[in-house]
């Protein structure tokens, strides 16, 4: 058994075990998503639970009380918002045939214009593609919602797993720390503090940006006179939560509804979306997130594309905080190597 004492063999064995574990997690990634959601939920709620525990609550009761408060908040939001949203959705569904006729009328107007042959063909193709893209976008949104509901059983278990993670977090942290020598524990502790700070700042900033963008889109739709501004603003804000593709996803319904109302309104809404996107990209995001996370735009785009390729929607959500964490770890290792 002398070969077990060889350091190179032990490192190779460790790397092999890690690679095998990662491959196994990739095979069961649908289940991993549920654990990922549980980890994110536990990460968000652990601080309030710890705050309540320091003020005399037992941790279990603190967690349950936080869950109860969240249920009350979510229930209240649904109670007050769903009736208005359902009214707008029902009204929109009732008017869909009329909107389809208006789209066809817009197409016929372009067809009736006396334009040069080539330009007329290009205009007809553009109008047809625009209609197809709007309908396909709506179909994809419906399919995505259906797939999300199909995976709801995994999401339901996330709060349960998050409860056990928060309840046993001290034990989990202690068991994990025992795998490392004291010096490494201190280094890891410092790294975790830095990573935790970056992730918290990113999360708070992203929610703030989403709310601001949704408010601006809804206000623009209301000012232009487009119907269903609340629904448009809500979709725009939720779309902003999807990195990189968020503005496109949030803008399709707004422009589509505006186009069925009038061509001028569609143009005004498109200009408003471009202005909002420029303000968000050049003013809001750099001030709220860019300075705190400190990721170069090229690296950010690469991280988003890689995350979307590997994990789809979930990859887009975790790409930026994961990239920021890797940057912190890489900087720490580089400084340690230089100092040695």
Quote the mean pLDDT of the chain: 76
In Å, how far are 7, 38, 202, 242 from 312, measured between CA atoms?
Answer: 38, 18, 20, 11
**110, part of any domain:** yes
Minimum mean pLDDT among 46-55, 104-113, 150-159: which range? 104-113
Burial of 272 (0-12, 13-18, 19+ CB in 10 A): buried
Structural domain of residue 147, as residue ranges?
A: 31-179
Tell me: do 168 and 226 sit in the same domain. no
| Residue 60: pLDDT band with limits 50, 70, 90 | very high
In this prediction, residues 274-282 reach a mean pLDDT of 81
Residue 145: its pLDDT value, please? 57
**210, part of any domain:** yes
Higher pLDDT, 117 or 228: 228
| Residue 98: pLDDT band with limits 50, 70, 90 | low
**14, part of any domain:** no
Q: Evaluate whether 232 touches 200 at the Cβ level (below 8 Å).
A: no
Residue 297: its pLDDT value, please? 66
Tell me: do 232 and 335 sit in the same domain. yes
Minimum mean pLDDT among 86-90, 197-201, 331-335: which range? 86-90
The pTM of the full predicted model, rounded to 2 decimals, is 0.59
Tell me: do 134 and 111 sit in the same domain. yes
Domain count, the chain: 2
The 10s digit of each residue's pLDDT in 132-146 is 665 565 556 555 555
In this prediction, residues 9-25 reach a mean pLDDT of 78
Tell me: do 246 and 153 sit in the same domain. no
The 10s digit of each residue's pLDDT in 190-244 is 888 888 888 888 888 888 888 888 899 889 888 888 877 888 888 888 877 766 5
Ordered DSSP codes for 234-297: HHHHHHHTSTTTHHHHHHHHHHHHHHHH-HHHHHHHHHHHHHHHHHIIIIIHIIIIIHHH---H
Tell me: do 139 and 281 sit in the same domain. no
Residue 69: its pLDDT value, please? 92
Residue 185: its pLDDT value, please? 78
| Residue 35: pLDDT band with limits 50, 70, 90 | confident
């Amino acid at each position: 058994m002398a070969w077990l004492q060889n350091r190179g063999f032990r490192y190779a064995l460790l790397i092999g075990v890690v690679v095998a574990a990662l491959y196994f997690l990739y095979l069961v990634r649908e289940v991993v998503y549920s654990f990922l959601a549980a980890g994110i939920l536990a990460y968000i709620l652990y601080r309030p639970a710890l705050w309540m525990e320091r003020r005399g609550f037992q941790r279990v009761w603190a967690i349950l009380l936080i869950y109860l408060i969240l249920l009350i908040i979510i229930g209240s939001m649904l109670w007050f918002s769903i009736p208005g949203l359902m009214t707008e959705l029902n009204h929109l569904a009732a008017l869909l045939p009329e909107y389809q006729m208006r789209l066809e009328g817009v197409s016929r107007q372009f067809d009736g214009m006396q334009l040069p042959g080539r330009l007329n063909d290009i205009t007809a193709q553009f109008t047809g593609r625009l209609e197809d893209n709007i309908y396909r976008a709506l179909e994809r949104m419906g399919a995505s919602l259906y797939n999300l509901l199909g995976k709801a059983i995994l999401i339901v278990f996330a709060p349960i797993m998050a409860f056990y993670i928060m309840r046993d977090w001290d034990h989990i942290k202690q068991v994990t720390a025992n795998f490392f020598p004291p010096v490494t524990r201190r280094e890891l502790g410092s790294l975790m503090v830095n990573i935790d700070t970056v992730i918290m700042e990113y999360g708070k900033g992203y929610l703030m940006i989403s709310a601001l963008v949704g408010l601006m889109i809804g206000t623009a739709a209301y000012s232009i006179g487009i119907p269903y501004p609340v629904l448009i603003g809500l979709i725009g804000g939720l779309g902003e939560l999807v990195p990189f593709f968020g503005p496109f996803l949030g803008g399709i319904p707004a422009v589509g509804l505006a186009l069925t109302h009038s061509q001028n309104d569609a143009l005004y809404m498109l200009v408003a979306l471009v202005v909002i996107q420029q303000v968000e990209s050049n003013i809001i995001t750099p001030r709220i997130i860019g300075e705190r996370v400190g990721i170069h735009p090229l690296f950010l785009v690469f991280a988003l594309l890689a995350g979307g390729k590997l994990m789809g929607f979930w990859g887009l959500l975790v790409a930026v905080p994961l990239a920021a964490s890797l940057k912190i770890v890489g900087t720490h290792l580089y400084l340690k190597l230089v100092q040695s």
